[in-house]
Chain A
Amino acid sequence: MARSRRTSPPRREGPEKLCGRLQYVDDHPLPGALFGATLRSTIPRGRILGIDFDSAFPWSEFVVVTARDIPGRNVVALIEDDQPLLADGEVRHAMEPVALVAHEDRARAYEALSHVHVRYEPLPAVLTLDEAMAAEKTPAGAGSVFKSFLIEKGDVEAGLAGADRVLEGEYRVPHQEQAYIENNGMAAWVEEDGTLVVLGSLQCPYYVHKALKAAFALPDDRVRVIQAATGGGFGGKEEYPSLIAGHAALLAWKARRPVKIVYDRTEDMAATTKRHPAVVRHRTGVTRDGRLVAQDVEVVMDGGAYVTLSPVVLSRGTLHATGPYECENVRVRSRVLRTHTPPNGAFRGFGAPQTLFAAELHMEQLAEALGVDSLTLRRRNAFSKGSVTATGQVLGESVGARTSLERCVKRSGFLKKRADNARWNRGKNKTWRGIGLALVHHGAGFTGSGETYLASRAAVSLTRDGGIRVLAASTEIGQGTNTMFAQIVAAALGVAVDDIVVETPDTGRVPNSGPTVASRTCMIVGGLLQRAAGQLLDEARRVLGGAPATRQAWKKAARSLCGAEDERRFEVEYQTPAEIRWDDKTYKGDAYGVYSYGAVAVDLEVDRLTYEVKVRRVTAAQDIGKAIHPLFVEGQIMGGTTQALGWALHENVIYEGGYMRNAQLTNYIIPTSLDTPPLDVDIVEEPYSRGPRGAKGVGELPMDVPAPAIAAAIHQAIGLWMTSLPILPERLYEAHAPAARQR
Chain B
Amino acid sequence: MPRLHVNGKARAYDGPAAKRLLDVLREDLGLTGTKEGCGEGECGACTVLLDRRPVNSCLIPVCQAEGQKIETVESLGSPERLNVLQEAFLTEGGAQCGICTPGMLMTAWSWVRGGGSDSPEAIRRVLAGNLCRCTGYQHIVNSVVRAVRERRRGRAAAKAPRKATTARAPRKRRKA
Q: Identify the A interface with B (CB < 8 A).
A: 5, 8, 10-24, 26-27, 29, 178-183, 229-234, 264-265, 477-480, 498, 631-632, 634-635, 638-643, 664-666, 670-674, 676, 678-679
Using CB atoms, name the residue of chain A closest to B129.
A672
B residues within 8 A CB of A229?
98
The segment out of B61-69, B156-164, B168-176 that lies at the interface is B168-176
1/0 per residue, CB under 8 A from A, across B96-128: the answer is 111111100100000000000000100111011
Using CB atoms, name the residue of chain A closest to B123.
A673
Other-chain residue from A179, A635, A666, A679 in contact with B96 (beta carbon distance below 8 A):
A635
Q: Is A17 within 8 A of B42, CB to CB?
A: no
Q: Is B96 within 8 A of A665, CB to CB?
A: no
Query: Given known contacts A18-B89, A635-B96, what 18 new A-B pairs fall within 8 Å (CB)?
Result: A11-B90, A12-B176, A14-B95, A18-B82, A18-B95, A182-B37, A230-B97, A231-B98, A233-B97, A265-B38, A265-B40, A498-B175, A634-B138, A639-B133, A642-B136, A676-B124, A678-B138, A679-B136
A residues within 8 A CB of B57?
none
**Of A17, A23, A183, most B-chain CB atoms within 10 Å:** A17
What are 11 A-B contacts defined by CB distance under 8 Å?
Answer: A8-B93, A11-B93, A15-B80, A18-B89, A20-B72, A21-B79, A178-B133, A180-B133, A632-B93, A634-B139, A671-B136
Known contacts A11-B90, A232-B134, A638-B138, A17 near B40 by CB under 8 Å: no
Judged by DSSP, the binding face of B is: loop
B137 contacts the other chain (Cβ, under 8 Å)?
A: yes
Interchain CA distance A229-B175 in the complex, whole Å: 22
A residues within 8 A CB of B105?
18
Q: Is A477 within 8 A of B97, CB to CB?
A: yes
Q: Is A18 within 8 A of B90, CB to CB?
A: yes
Known contacts A20-B34, A673-B124, A679-B138, A664 near B90 by CB under 8 Å: no
Interchain CA distance A665-B37 in the complex, whole Å: 9
B77 contacts the other chain (Cβ, under 8 Å)?
A: yes
Minimum distance in angstroms from B44 CB to a CB of chain A: 9
Other-chain residue from B45, B82, B125 in contact with A674 (beta carbon distance below 8 A):
B125
Q: Is B33 within 8 A of A20, CB to CB?
A: yes
Minimum distance in angstroms from A559 CB to a CB of chain B: 25
**CB under 8 Å from chain A, chain B span 51-98:** 72-74, 76-80, 82, 86, 89-93, 95-98
**Of B26, B123, B176, most A-chain CB atoms within 10 Å:** B176
Q: Is B137 within 8 A of A673, CB to CB?
A: yes
B43 contacts the other chain (Cβ, under 8 Å)?
A: yes
A residues within 8 A CB of B135?
635, 638-639, 642
Q: Is B86 within 8 A of A19, CB to CB?
A: yes
A residues within 8 A CB of B151?
none
B residues within 8 A CB of A635?
93, 96, 134-136, 139
Other-chain residue from B33, B40, B89, B137 in contact with A676 (beta carbon distance below 8 A):
B137
Q: Is B93 within 8 A of A232, CB to CB?
A: no
B residues within 8 A CB of A678?
120, 138
Known contacts A12-B176, A631-B93, A635-B139, A478 near B33 by CB under 8 Å: no
Minimum distance in angstroms from A23 CB to a CB of chain B: 7
Q: Is A18 within 8 A of B101, CB to CB?
A: yes
Using CB atoms, name the residue of chain A closest to B97.
A478
Minimum distance in angstroms from B175 CB to a CB of chain A: 6
Using CB atoms, name the residue of chain B closest to A477.
B97
Other-chain residue from A182, A638, A665, A676 in contact with B97 (beta carbon distance below 8 A):
A182
Interchain CA distance A641-B133 in the complex, whole Å: 11
Q: Is B90 within 8 A of A265, CB to CB?
A: no
Pairs of residues from A and B, 10 with the lowest C-beta to C-beta distance, nearest first:
A20-B33, A231-B99, A478-B97, A17-B98, A642-B136, A638-B136, A478-B96, A15-B79, A20-B73, A27-B32
Known contacts A478-B96, A670-B131, A182 near B35 by CB under 8 Å: yes
Minimum distance in angstroms from A709 CB to a CB of chain B: 15
What interface size band does chain B fall in?
A: 35 or more
B24 contacts the other chain (Cβ, under 8 Å)?
A: no
Q: Is A672 within 8 A of B72, CB to CB?
A: no
Interchain CA distance A180-B124 in the complex, whole Å: 20
Q: Is A639 within 8 A of B134, CB to CB?
A: yes
Q: Is B43 within 8 A of A181, CB to CB?
A: yes
Known contacts A498-B175, A643-B133, A665-B37, A23 near B97 by CB under 8 Å: no
Using CB atoms, name the residue of chain A closest to B132.
A181
Interchain CA distance A638-B143 in the complex, whole Å: 15
B residues within 8 A CB of A265?
37-40
Using CB atoms, name the residue of chain B closest to A28.
B32
Known contacts A181-B131, A232-B133, A498-B176, A19 near B125 by CB under 8 Å: no
Q: Is B99 within 8 A of A232, CB to CB?
A: yes
Using CB atoms, name the residue of chain B closest to A632.
B93
B residues within 8 A CB of A634?
93, 138-139
**CB under 8 Å from chain A, chain B span 1-56:** 26, 30-40, 42-43, 45
B140 contacts the other chain (Cβ, under 8 Å)?
A: yes
Interchain CA distance A125-B127 in the complex, whole Å: 43
Q: Is B134 within 8 A of A19, CB to CB?
A: no
Q: Is A180 within 8 A of B128, CB to CB?
A: no
Using CB atoms, name the residue of chain A closest to B33.
A20
A residues within 8 A CB of B99?
24, 180-182, 231-232
A residues within 8 A CB of B33?
19-21
Interchain CA distance A640-B96 in the complex, whole Å: 13
Minimum distance in angstroms from B122 CB to a CB of chain A: 11
Interchain CA distance A634-B141 in the complex, whole Å: 14
A residues within 8 A CB of B45?
181
Interchain CA distance A22-B90 in the complex, whole Å: 15
B residues within 8 A CB of A632?
93
A residues within 8 A CB of B123?
673
B residues within 8 A CB of A642?
135-137
Using CB atoms, name the residue of chain B closest to A231.
B99
Q: Is A13 within 8 A of B98, CB to CB?
A: yes
A residues within 8 A CB of B74?
19-20
Interchain CA distance A522-B133 in the complex, whole Å: 21
Using CB atoms, name the residue of chain B closest to A262.
B36
Minimum distance in angstroms from B164 CB to a CB of chain A: 18
A residues within 8 A CB of B30?
29
Q: Is B98 within 8 A of A15, CB to CB?
A: no
Using CB atoms, name the residue of chain A closest to B100.
A181
B residues within 8 A CB of A641?
136
Q: Is A674 within 8 A of B79, CB to CB?
A: no
A residues within 8 A CB of B80?
15
B residues within 8 A CB of A640?
136
Q: Is A664 within 8 A of B42, CB to CB?
A: yes
Interchain CA distance A265-B36 in the complex, whole Å: 9
Minimum distance in angstroms from A722 CB to a CB of chain B: 23
Minimum distance in angstroms from A124 CB to a CB of chain B: 35
Minimum distance in angstroms from A634 CB to a CB of chain B: 7
Q: Is A666 within 8 A of B93, CB to CB?
A: no
**Of B37, B128, B134, most A-chain CB atoms within 10 Å:** B134
B residues within 8 A CB of A23?
32
Minimum distance in angstroms from A417 CB to a CB of chain B: 20
Minimum distance in angstroms from A204 CB to a CB of chain B: 16
Q: Is A10 within 8 A of B128, CB to CB?
A: no
Known contacts A20-B74, A639-B96, A478 near B134 by CB under 8 Å: yes
A residues within 8 A CB of B36?
26, 183
Minimum distance in angstroms from A198 CB to a CB of chain B: 20
Minimum distance in angstroms from B173 CB to a CB of chain A: 7
Interchain CA distance A119-B72 in the complex, whole Å: 47
Interchain CA distance A230-B78 in the complex, whole Å: 21
Known contacts A12-B176, A664-B40, A672 near B131 by CB under 8 Å: yes
Minimum distance in angstroms from A648 CB to a CB of chain B: 14
Interchain CA distance A5-B87 in the complex, whole Å: 13
B residues within 8 A CB of A183?
36-37
Other-chain residue from B77, B132, B174, B176 in contact with A19 (beta carbon distance below 8 A):
B77
Q: Is A638 within 8 A of B133, CB to CB?
A: no
Interchain CA distance A233-B96 in the complex, whole Å: 11
Minimum distance in angstroms from B121 CB to a CB of chain A: 9
Interchain CA distance A12-B80 in the complex, whole Å: 13
Known contacts A10-B90, A231-B35, A17 near B138 by CB under 8 Å: no
Interchain CA distance A231-B45 in the complex, whole Å: 11
